[in-house]
């Protein structure tokens, strides 16, 4: 039976909701203010039913934006705190780039060193090739002039992680309940007094929204602005849509994950390649793209193959229903198509000879998903209506395991300098995050 009241109500049983519930339970216990029994997590479906459950699972620090880089260093520490429960593989991460991104990547490296984040930077096409062939003797990517090798980071098996995180929360007394759909909120003055669901009304003292791509639905429930004012340098943009959608393109090549081991027989870092070199099909030689492109990939036994993706594409829609359930029956059927499959498989072969003529091994099941992005493509972490914390990750979500820990501290009255740059007020104040030359909108 669904509880009719709880002190803390968390909406969403993905990475943010579960992490917040677990760390909030610890905060309450350590401060002598209660326990996990004061926390209820609800989800429309269940644990990992949305974006977190199909996430690629890559964990990286590779961001051009200082605030993102510092926040990710914190997140990596949380991943490292319990790799077994989080199904975390600390294999590292590599950003392999063309000359047009050289200065951006050099800046990332310099600032990683400044915050003590271990990485190695290789410059020049010849030295980059030597370095990569030291890892993979079949490396053959062209147009590469730098390699940033992060020695921390890696990837996590998504569902195993969420199950482990849920178990940690439940061990602290947290209740996690599925099949509960939120349909509205009730206010008492400026604060939220209750959340209305399909299974009854829940009275609560504090609400946390961690709903991933469903954020626009809750944004409307909270009566937050659909269009906002954005200051970008000397320019003022009026009536900017608060949330827009990208289709994420990811998939799996059905090969033995062991085929991607390094020369010394170890599991490799996560590989991310961006380049402006023309990409041709390794099957029929046709030109696939002569524009800047990028892919990432890793061996993953959870996916039973080599898994990864490419840059997402913007979804242009004004359908209100689209924001209601981006993974369900009401939404358009956005899955990766033949263009992505041809591009990604050709790009794998572009990078390593072992992937030549493997296009036929690509798995045809739907993959990827939808992401709801803020105007600058970066997260919004902020409190509204005095007692509602909104975690809107702009599709950076899964790797940000540690955000829940910071939010838990914030609820207890601690200010977080790591979350401050992601406040909603940044848009009108012009405190936007810098933009890189990457083909990915959030790098």
Q: Mean of the pLDDT values across residues 218-235? A: 96
What pLDDT does 322 receive?
Answer: 43
CA-wise closest residue to 380 among 411, 407, 409: 407
pLDDT at residue 443 is higher than 70 = no
CATH class of 1-89+154-225+378-429: alpha beta
- Domain positions in the chain are 1-89+154-225+378-429, 93-151+244-373
**Band (366; pLDDT cuts 50, 70, 90):** low
Identify the pLDDT of residue 55.
Answer: 85
Q: Of 307, 354, 300, 305, nearest to 136 (Cα)?
A: 354
Q: What separation in angstroms does the CA of 110 have from each of 113, 121, 133, 183, 290?
A: 5, 9, 24, 47, 31
pLDDT in tens, 65-99: 899 999 999 999 999 999 999 999 999 999 999 99
Q: What is the pLDDT of residue 329?
A: 40
291-316 per-position pLDDT tens digit: 999 999 999 998 899 999 998 888 76
Mean pLDDT of the chain: 92
Q: Convert the pLDDT of each residue in 375-430 to its tens digit.
A: 999 999 999 999 999 999 998 889 999 999 999 999 999 999 999 999 999 999 99
* Confidence check: pLDDT of 130 > 70: yes
What angle separates helix 158-171 from helix 15-31, to the nearest 10 degrees?
A: 20
Task: Tell me the C-alpha distance between 300 and 89, whole Å.
Answer: 10
Q: Count how many residues are written for the chain.
A: 443
CATH superfamily name and code, 93-151+244-373:
D-Amino Acid Oxidase, subunit A, domain 2 (3.30.9.10)
């Amino acid at each position: 039976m669904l509880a009719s009241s709880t002190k803390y109500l968390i909406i969403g049983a993905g990475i943010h909701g579960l992490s917040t519930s677990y760390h909030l339970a610890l905060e309450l216990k350590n401060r002598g203010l209660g326990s996990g029994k004061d926390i209820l997590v609800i989800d429309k479906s269940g644990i990992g039913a949305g974006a977190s459950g199909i996430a690629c699972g890559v964990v990286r620090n590779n961001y051009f934006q200082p605030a993102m880089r510092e926040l990710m260093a914190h997140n990596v520490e949380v991943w490292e705190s319990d790799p077994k429960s989080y199904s975390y593989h600390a294999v590292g991460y590599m950003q392999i780039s063309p000359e047009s991104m050289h200065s951006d990547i050099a800046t990332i490296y310099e600032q990683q060193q400044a915050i003590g984040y271990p990485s190695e930077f290789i410059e020049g096409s010849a030295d980059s090739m030597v370095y990569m062939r030291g890892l993979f003797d079949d490396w053959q990517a062209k147009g590469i002039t730098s390699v940033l090798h992060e020695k921390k980071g890696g990837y996590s098996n998504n569902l195993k992680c969420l199950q482990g995180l849920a178990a940690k929360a439940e061990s602290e007394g947290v209740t996690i309940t599925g099949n509960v759909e939120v349909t509205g909120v009730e206010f008492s003055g400026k604060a939220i007094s209750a959340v209305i669901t399909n299974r009854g009304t829940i009275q609560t003292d504090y609400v946390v929204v961690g709903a991933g791509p469903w954020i626009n639905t809750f944004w409307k429930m909270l009566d937050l602005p659909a269009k906002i004012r954005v200051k970008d340098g000397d320019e003022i943009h009026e009536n900017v849509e608060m949330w827009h959608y990208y289709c994420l393109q990811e998939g799996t090549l059905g090969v033995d994950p062991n085929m991607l081991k390094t020369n010394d027989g170890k599991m490799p870092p996560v590989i991310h390649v961006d380049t402006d070199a023309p990409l041709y099909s390794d099957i029929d030689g046709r030109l696939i793209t002569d524009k800047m492109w990028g892919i990432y990939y890793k061996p993953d036994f959870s996916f039973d193959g080599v898994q990864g993706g490419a840059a997402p594409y913007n979804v242009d829609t004004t359908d209100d229903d689209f924001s209601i359930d981006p993974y369900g029956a009401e939404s358009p059927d956005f899955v990766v198509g033949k263009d992505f499959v041809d591009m990604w498989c050709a790009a794998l072969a572009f990078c390593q000879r072992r992937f030549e003529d493997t296009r036929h091994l690509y798995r045809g099941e739907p993959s990827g998903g939808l992401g709801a992005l803020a105007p600058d493509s970066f997260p919004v972490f902020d409190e509204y209506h005095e007692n509602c914390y909104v975690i809107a990750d702009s599709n950076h979500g899964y790797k940000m395991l540690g955000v829940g820990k910071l939010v838990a501290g914030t609820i207890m009255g601690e200010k977080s300098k790591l979350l401050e740059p992601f406040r909603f007020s940044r848009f009108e104040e012009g405190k936007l995050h810098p933009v890189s030359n990457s083909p990915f909108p959030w790098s």
